[in-house]
Amino acid sequence: MGRPLLLEVADKPATSAAIAVCVGAWLLITQRRLGYEDVGMSYDKVVRGRQAWRMIVCQFSHVEALHLIFNVSALWSLGGIETSPKMGTGYYLRASAALIALSQPLCLAFYHLLITVGGRERYARVTAVGYSCVTFGLMSALSVNELGMGQLSLFGLASIPAPLAPFGYLVLTSVLIPRASFIGHLSGVLVGYVVGFGVFEQLTPFWAVSLALWGALGALVGLVRSGAVSLPFVRFEEEGDVEAGLAVGFSSGAAV
Give the confidence band of 94 by pLDDT, cuts at 50, 70, 90: confident
Instruction: Write down the pLDDT at residue 249.
Output: 38
| Options 62, 140, 185, 187, the catalytic residue | 185
Superfamily of domain covering 5-231: Rhomboid-like (1.20.1540.10)
| Options 132, 140, 181, 187, the catalytic residue | 132
Q: Reply yes or no on whether the pLDDT at 108 is more than 50.
A: yes
pTM, 2 dp: 0.77
Give the confidence band of 254 by pLDDT, cuts at 50, 70, 90: very low
| DSSP letter for each residue of the chain | ----HHHHHHH-HHHHHHHHHHHHHHHHHHHHT--HHHH-B-HIIIIIS--TTHHHHHHH--SSHHHHHHHHHHHHHTTHHHH-TTSHHHHHHHHHHHHHHHHHHHHHHHHHHHHHTS--GGGGG--B-SSHHHHHHHHHHHHHHTTT--EEEETTTEEEEGGGHHHHHHHHHHHH-TTS-HHHHHHHHHHHHHHHTTTTTT--HHHHHHHHHHHHHHHHHHHHHHTSS--TTEEEPPTT-SS-SEEE--TT----
Instruction: Write down the pLDDT at residue 107.
Output: 94
Q: Reply yes or no on whether the pLDDT at 223 is more than 70.
A: no
| Annotation says 112 is catalytic | no
| Annotation says 62 is catalytic | no
